[in-house]
């Protein structure tokens, strides 16, 4: 951590947590010292710039909190050939993500303090993006016996989930919710009724029928959510539905929130940018779980983000190597990488005027941070100096091979997008600089 002072000037400052949104001004900016924010706002630089400060000129672009990605799969332990914490961290920094929460679906599964400590230690070693870890909700992800929620919470687990597997047993889910409740930790569900989804490879319906692929009926998602909502009502526990993909699921969460239930949800960029038509040529690089749905669903997901029903956008980053993807569709692995492209894809919602920049950034900063109880995702004195310089209008084309992840399974290869991260600062250290011009901080 640098003892030096870092000053950011000439920026539009957006902090969704405080509602701050001020244009560039001579005295506006941010001062970071010892890894923390000391001053931020339109008058932060009134007292001038310390002599030894490293100055970042934002060139009129946006200063925003570092992004918090609440759903990421990393390859460690056990799948380092797909991604290491080092490559994931580089990809995250390039995508403006300064904190991310990793799924426990590693090999071995993260289900004890040692597993959590492994992630924490590897994260410390590479001094980049901050890694937080979920722990398995059930032992061996088998959906039967609960893991040690209390001890795991003490060891740093930010929530409990079985990753891409639904907690299917109703009695098990009930116990998981009520037990997690006492530690005020989230249970994160992969909402998909497993017997309906079994052996399915894409969204059920005409397209799957044409392709001769077994479909996953769209209602498999809302069915699981509706059951879970009853259990939330019964237990009073906090519940989070991950990667929403269907219109019905968004509506179920919307109504649950209106009833005052302690529920939240997220979605991923592919669910508001791609549809089942993106797999019509058996394109395994767009094979994800839950599957890509229809135009109608895509519209409902966007509406859910715009009206706040969907709390967070998470990348659902899942590295898979070419050998797992260049297969007949039914045999190919699910998942796409996304931590590096999340902001650029999400900015399309702003450019299409579905919601304002601050509201959009809230879904990737303060909101997921609050859900997980992280001190992250905001610009305020005393908070960690994790922030980004964002050019929301820069036009470029995604090149999967140029992304920093070890695996290149992007569903957005060659897609033209608007907006990218110019600089990423974590704990006051410049960890990513697109221009590469500023090398002083390190």
Partner 1 sequence: MNRATANAKPAPTSSLSGRDGLPPFAHKHILGIGGVQPYDLEAILDCADHYVVQNRQSGAASTLLAGRTIMNLFFENSTRTRTSFELAGQRLGANVINMSVGTSSVKKGETLIDTALTLNAMHPDFLIVRHPESGAVALLSQKVNCPVINAGDGAHEHPTQALLDALTIRRRVGRLAGLKVAICGDINHSRVARSNIHLLSAMGAEVRVIAPPTLLPSGIERMGCTAFTDMTEGLRDVDIVMMLRLQTERMQGRFVPSIREYYHFYGLTYEKLKVAKPEALVMHPGPMNRGVEIGSELADDINRSVILDQVELGVAVRMACLDMLYQVWHPEDAAKHQDQGENR
Active-site residue list: 316
Q: Judged by CB, which is closer to partner 1: 206, or 393?
A: 206
Give the number of other CB atoms < 10 A from CB of residue 396: 13
Q: Tokens 């900063």 identify what position?
A: 365
Least separation in angstroms between CB 83 and partner 1: 20
In angstroms, rounded to a whole number, what is the distance separating the alpha carbons of residues 135 and 153?
9
In angstroms, rounded to a whole number, what is the distance separating the alpha carbons of residues 87 and 188?
26
Give the number of other CB atoms < 10 A from CB of residue 408: 18
Using the contact rule CB under 8 A, the part of the chain among 7-15, 56-64, 321-329, 388-396 near partner 1 is 321-329
Determine contact, residues 204/215, Cβ cutoff 8 Å.
yes
Q: Judged by CB, which is closer to partner 1: 183, or 329?
A: 329
Question: In the set 60, 328, 381, 416, which binds partner 1 (CB under 8 A)?
Answer: 328
Residue 290 binds partner 1, judged by CB under 8 A:
no
Using the contact rule CB under 8 A, the part of the chain among 69-77, 233-241, 266-274, 319-327 near partner 1 is 319-327
Least separation in angstroms between CB 151 and partner 1: 39
Q: Is 368 helix (H, G, I), strand (E, B) or coil?
A: helix
Residues 76-105 that bind partner 1 (CB under 8 A): none
Q: Judged by CB, which is closer to partner 1: 146, or 327?
A: 327
# binding residues, partner 1 (CB under 8 A): 22
Question: In the set 306, 329, 380, 413, which binds partner 1 (CB under 8 A)?
Answer: 329
Binding mask 235-274 for partner 1 (x = CB under 8 A): ----------------------------------------
Least separation in angstroms between CB 320 and partner 1: 13
Q: Is 392 helix (H, G, I), strand (E, B) or coil?
A: strand
**DSSP per-residue letters across 214-271:** -EE-THHHHHHHHHHHHHHHHH---EEE-S---HHHHHHHHHHHHTT--EEEEE-GGG
Residue 282 binds partner 1, judged by CB under 8 A:
yes
Q: Is 380 helix (H, G, I), strand (E, B) or coil?
A: coil
Least separation in angstroms between CB 331 and partner 1: 5
In angstroms, rounded to a whole number, what is the distance separating the alpha carbons of residues 278 and 207?
11
Q: Judged by CB, which is closer to partner 1: 210, or 439?
A: 210
Determine contact, residues 344/398, Cβ cutoff 8 Å.
yes
Residue 332 binds partner 1, judged by CB under 8 A:
yes
Residues 173-232 that bind partner 1 (CB under 8 A): 204-213, 215, 217
Please name every residue paired with 397 in a beta bridge, in sequence order, or none if there are none: 416
Least separation in angstroms between CB 297 and partner 1: 15
* Residues whose CB falls within 8 Å of the CB of residue 358, separated by 6 or more in sequence, listed in order: 14, 16, 19, 21
DSSP state of 75: -
Q: Judged by CB, which is closer to partner 1: 200, or 319?
A: 200
Question: In the set 125, 145, 281, 399, which binds partner 1 (CB under 8 A)?
Answer: 281
Using the contact rule CB under 8 A, the part of the chain among 136-144, 231-239, 324-332, 348-356 near partner 1 is 324-332
Least separation in angstroms between CB 205 and partner 1: 5
In angstroms, rounded to a whole number, what is the distance separating the alpha carbons of residues 49 and 215?
60
Q: Judged by CB, which is closer to partner 1: 36, or 211?
A: 211
Using the contact rule CB under 8 A, the part of the chain among 16-24, 66-74, 142-150, 326-334 near partner 1 is 326-334
Pairing between strand 130-133 and 97-102? parallel
* Residues whose CB falls within 8 Å of the CB of residue 300, separated by 6 or more in sequence, listed in order: 246, 247, 250, 251
Q: Smallest Cα–Cα separation from 364: which of 159, 136, 101?
A: 101
Using the contact rule CB under 8 A, the part of the chain among 157-165, 189-197, 329-337, 372-380 near partner 1 is 329-337
Pairing between strand 239-241 and 186-189? parallel
Q: Judged by CB, which is closer to partner 1: 212, or 260?
A: 212
Determine contact, residues 361/12, Cβ cutoff 8 Å.
no
Least separation in angstroms between CB 266 and partner 1: 28
Site residues for partner 1 per CB under 8 A: 204-213, 215, 217, 281-282, 323, 326-332
């Amino acid at each position: 951590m640098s003892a030096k002072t870092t000053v950011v000037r000439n920026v539009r400052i957006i902090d969704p947590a405080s509602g701050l949104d001020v244009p560039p001004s001579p005295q506006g900016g941010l001062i970071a010292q010892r890894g923390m924010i000391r001053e931020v706002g339109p008058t932060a630089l009134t007292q001038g710039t310390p002599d030894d400060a490293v100055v970042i000129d934002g060139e009129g672009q946006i200063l925003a909190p570092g992004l918090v990605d609440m759903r990421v799969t990393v390859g460690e332990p056990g799948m380092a050939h797909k991604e290491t914490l080092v490559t994931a961290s580089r990809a995250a920094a390039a995508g403006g993500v300064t904190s991310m929460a990793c799924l426990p679906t590693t090999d071995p599964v993260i289900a004890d303090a040692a597993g959590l400590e492994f992630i924490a230690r590897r994260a410390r070693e590479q001094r980049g993006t901050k890694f937080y870890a979920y722990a398995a909700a059930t032992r061996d992800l088998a959906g039967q016996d609960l893991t040690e929620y209390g001890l795991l919470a003490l060891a740093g687990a930010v929530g409990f989930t079985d990753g891409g597997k639904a907690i299917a047993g109703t009695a098990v889910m009930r116990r998981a919710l009520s037990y997690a409740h006492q530690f005020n930790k989230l249970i994160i569900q992969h909402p998909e009724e497993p017997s309906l989804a079994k052996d399915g490879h894409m969204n059920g319906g005409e397209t799957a029928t044409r392709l001769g692929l077994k479909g996953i009926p769209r209602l498999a998602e809302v069915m699981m959510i509706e059951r879970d909502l009853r259990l939330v009502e019964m237990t009073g526990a906090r519940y989070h539905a991950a990667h929403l993909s269907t219109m019905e699921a968004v509506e179920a969460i919307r109504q649950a929130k209106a009833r005052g239930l302690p529920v939240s949800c997220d979605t991923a960029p592919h669910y508001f940018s791609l549809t089942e038509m993106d797999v019509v040529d058996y394109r395994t690089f767009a094979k994800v779980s839950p599957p890509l749905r229809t135009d109608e669903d895509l519209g409902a997901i966007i509406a859910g983000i715009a009206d706040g029903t969907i709390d967070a956008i998470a990348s659902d980053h899942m590295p898979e190597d070419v050998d797992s993807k260049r297969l007949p569709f039914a045999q190919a692995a699910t998942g796409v990488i996304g931590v590096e492209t999340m902001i650029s894809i999400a900015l399309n919602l702003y450019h299409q005027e579905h919601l304002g920049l601050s509201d959009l950034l809230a879904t990737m900063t303060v909101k997921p941070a609050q859900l997980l109880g992280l001190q992250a995702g905001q610009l305020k004195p005393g908070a960690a100096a994790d922030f980004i310089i964002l050019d929301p209008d820069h036009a470029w084309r995604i090149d999967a091979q140029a992304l920093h992840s070890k695996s290149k399974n992007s569903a957005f290869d060659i897609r033209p997008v608007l907006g990218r991260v110019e600089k990423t600062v974590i704990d006051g250290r410049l960890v990513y600089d697109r221009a590469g011009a500023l090398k002083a901080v390190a």
